[in-house]
Chains A and B, each alone.
Chain A
Amino acid sequence: MPIERTRATAYIWLMSMTDETPIPKRPSGFWSYANPVKFLAFSARVLPVLWWLSGICLIVGLVWGFFFTPDDFRQGSTVKIIYLHVPSALMAINAWFMMLVASLIWIVRRHHVSALAAKAAAPVGVVMTLMALFTGAVWGQPMWGTWWAWDPRLTSFLILFLFYLGYIALWEAIEDPDTAADLTSVLCLVGSVFAVLSRYAVNFWNQGLHQGASLSLDKEENVADVFYVPLLVCIAGFVLIFIALVLYRTGTEIRLRRTRALLARETRA
């Protein structure tokens, strides 16, 4: 289907969305969720499960990590910060990659829901980034003797945080939603460099204060088992709460877009 045709179809879906709107037979599979009605129906089905699962994982993981794991022989009780720092940093980077994929889908296929999903993920990503920066600083002060260092990984993480703020500001600054989606998608592509650097700066430059990954497929590089399992539960909780928040927020963006479209139609009439 030509891009203009796809774009027009998605727009019509967004404009004429009602409970009675029949869900088109095509496109099928993954791409059918470009239909806002189908997306909202899917979200309504999976969100209760996601809220519960993420809540359970977060409570179990954090309570386990905080109350029932020992202190580290070098880090003392600050090792408990790992249950917040690692999952939030992981999600800060992966949220940007999710936005990148959604932005690419918007650029290539012009699916409005995809652009709105990228927009919806940004505030979640910015909170995760802030959380990772704060917990990292609080851990760094007693362990490194400084709150902050211009280390490659920390610096690229700070730039990623600024990209998040710029991304959100750009969405708010442009009135036409399609133009905003286009420009923010380009910004997202550029910012991906810093998302990659946030993850791999330690490997690229092999310098600075920040240590390598706490989790790896190579068991030798992992944190000790006693910290590893609750950490995995916390990561699962963060991933699930991220998915739940993004689905919910995308639904909100779809409703806001539809409301604006209907109000504009009322004004024209």
Chain B
Amino acid sequence: MMPDLGKYAEAVLSAYGVSLLLLVLLIVWTLRQGRRARRALQEVERRRAPDA
């Protein structure tokens, strides 16, 4: 299944490994930040609700 990358295997695999890691980290960080912001806003709005 794995293609024969020959003498460039290290270069190709490191390019894929680092790029995919960066992309996954960006997505995970974005989603976590989004969830945190959503929760914080809900919390503040819940506090405000009785005053409204």
Name B29's closest neighbour in chain A (CB-CB). Answer: A123
Q: A252-B33, A262-B44, A263-B44 are in contact. Are A77 and B12 (CB under 8 A)?
A: yes
Which of A5-13, A22-30, A126-134 lines the interface with chain B?
Answer: A126-134
C-alpha spacing A139/B12, complex, angstroms = 8
Interface of A is mostly: helix
Q: Mark A136-161, 1 if CB is under 8 A from B, else 0.
A: 00110110000000000000000000
State the Cβ distance, B51 to closest chain A Cβ, in Å: 9
B-side contacts of A256, CB under 8 Å:
37, 40-41
> What's the Cα separation between A155 and B20 when bound, in Å?
24
Q: How far is the CB of B50 from chain A (nearest CB, A)?
A: 13
Contact status of A66 and B3, CB under 8 A, knowing A78-B8, A138-B14: yes
Chain A residues whose C-beta falls within 8 Å of the C-beta of B16 in the assembled complex: 62, 66, 80, 84
A77: chain B residues at CB < 8 Å are 3-6, 8-9, 12
Q: Indicate if the CB atoms of B30 and A249 lie closer than 8 Å.
A: yes
- Cα distance A77–B16 in the bound complex, in angstroms: 12
B33 close to A130 (CB less than 8 A): no
When A and B form their complex, what is the total count of cross-chain residue pairs whose Cβ atoms lie within 8 Å? 96
Determine if A123 and B26 form an interchain contact, defined as CB atoms under 8 angstroms apart. yes
Asked whether any CB of chain B lies closer than 8 Å to the CB of A245, the reply is: yes
- CB A177 to nearest CB in B, in angstroms, measures 15
Q: Is A67 an interface residue (CB 8 A)?
A: yes
- Residues 14-47 of A, flagged 1 when their CB comes within 8 A of B and 0 if not, give 0000100000000000000000000000000000
Q: On chain B, which size bracket covers the interface?
A: 20 to 34
Q: Please name all residues of chain B whose beta carbon is closer than 8 Å to the beta carbon of A249 when the two chains form the complex.
A: 30, 33-34
- Which of A78, A141, A259 contacts B41 (CB under 8 A)? A259
Rounded to whole Å, the gap between the CB of A62 and the closest CB of chain B is: 8
Q: Which of B9, B18, B45 contacts A262 (CB 8 A)?
A: B45
Among candidates B3, B19, B38, residue contacting A131 with C-beta atoms closer than 8 Å:
B19
Q: For the complex, what is the distance from the CA of A141 to the CA of B11, rounded to whole Å?
A: 9
- Having A245-B27, A252-B33, A252-B37, one finds 15 other A-B pairs with CB under 8 Å, namely A66-B16, A67-B1, A76-B6, A77-B9, A78-B11, A81-B11, A85-B15, A88-B19, A130-B22, A131-B19, A134-B15, A249-B33, A252-B34, A255-B38, A258-B41
14 contacts between A and B (CB under 8 A): A76-B6, A78-B8, A78-B11, A85-B15, A123-B30, A127-B23, A127-B26, A131-B19, A135-B19, A138-B15, A245-B30, A249-B34, A258-B41, A262-B45
